[in-house]
Amino acid sequence: MKNRFIKTIEENSIEAVSLIVAVAIWQLIADRIVQNKFLLPSFYDVVNSFTTIVESGLIFTDTLTSLVHFSIGIIAAFAIGIPLGIAMGWFRKANRAIDPVIEILRPIPPLAWIPFAIIWFGLARQAAGFVVFVGMVFPIIINTYTGFKNVPKVYVEAAKVLGCTRNLDLIRYIAIPSAMPSIVAGIRIAMGVGWMCLVAAEMFGVSDSGLGYQIWHNYYLHRMDFVLVYMLLLGFVGLLIDRFFRYYVDAKLLRWTSGTVV
């Protein structure tokens, strides 16, 4: 166990040294040059604040709240975005019917929906979830649509001569697997956008807890070291979600593409 740990450090020595140096420079600038906890909290201050919120348990409730907001958004975006993208990509008439509406709604920045989110859902989890949903749904629709448009004709024809002729079967057995790399890419983009929307929604009062909310709350209290802790937390949780997703997708869904250039 210990050997493996040492080995990992040895293998990633350049990365590790780089991180340590960055933290050291940060600490040095904050502690010796700026010398103002309000303008730039030092690494030491941040670690202290971090232990405070871990001890109070606040970190867990806020992370959980944010994850709930995010989940509401992502589930809604999946449930609506993927079927819409499929319909648009497979049936030309559906595309002609849906596309104008989407093209008008899409350029509206998701954050502009915050007032309506509050009016429609109140200060509830769904309100923040809704803003996340608006941010996520369009990249998912568009990438699903593109993936479906680019299904190679030869796969569809091969399926047809093998006895797979119904639209529903062609979508299920040919188009969805073939479009999967594009759909997955859309989901990853959407997760990035959704994470940003989440923080903004929580900041602008759609919620009374969550990581984004805490940033704003601590800013009002002038506790900039806590602001920085929550900023770093947002970064780490976002990174973890992305890593987990990529690991799952590469191992399960896209194993067949490992030999191709996507």
Partner 1 sequence: MQNYLDGLQELWYKMGRVSVKNVSRVFTKKEENGGTEALHDVSFDVEDGEFICLLGPSGCGKTTLLRIIAGLETQTSGEITLNKVPITGPHPKRGMVFQQYSLFPWRTVIDNVTFGLEMQGINKAEARKHAEKYIDLVGLEQFKNSYPYELSGGMQQRAAIARALTNEPEVLLMDEPFGALDAQTRNILQDELLKIWEQKHVTFIFVTHSVDEAVVLSDRIVVMTARPGRIKEIVTVDLPRPRCRTSPEANRLRDHVLKLLEEERFHK
Binding site for partner 1 (CB under 8 A): 154-155, 157-165, 169, 173-174, 177-178, 180, 255-260
The SS3 of residue 57 is coil
CA 36 – CA 45 distance, rounded (Å) = 11
Query: Residue 246 or residue 255: which is nearer to partner 1 going by CB?
Result: 255
Query: Residue 172 or residue 246: which is nearer to partner 1 going by CB?
Result: 172
Query: Which of 209, 216, 218, 211 is CA-nearest to residue 124?
Result: 209
Query: Residue 3 or residue 260: which is nearer to partner 1 going by CB?
Result: 260
Query: Residue 98 or residue 185: which is nearer to partner 1 going by CB?
Result: 185
Closest distance to partner 1 from the beta carbon of 157 (Å): 5
Retrieve residue 133's tokens.
């949903």
DSSP 111: G
Closest distance to partner 1 from the beta carbon of 260 (Å): 6
Q: At what angle do helices 125-149 and 92-105 cross, to 10 degrees?
A: 140
Query: Residue 140 or residue 151: which is nearer to partner 1 going by CB?
Result: 151
CA 66 – CA 197 distance, rounded (Å) = 11
Query: How much is the CA Rg of the chain, to the nearest whole Å?
Result: 23
Closest distance to partner 1 from the beta carbon of 152 (Å): 8
Closest distance to partner 1 from the beta carbon of 247 (Å): 19
> Cβ distance 241 to 74 under 8 Å?
no
Q: Report which residue type is found at 11.
A: E
Closest distance to partner 1 from the beta carbon of 166 (Å): 9
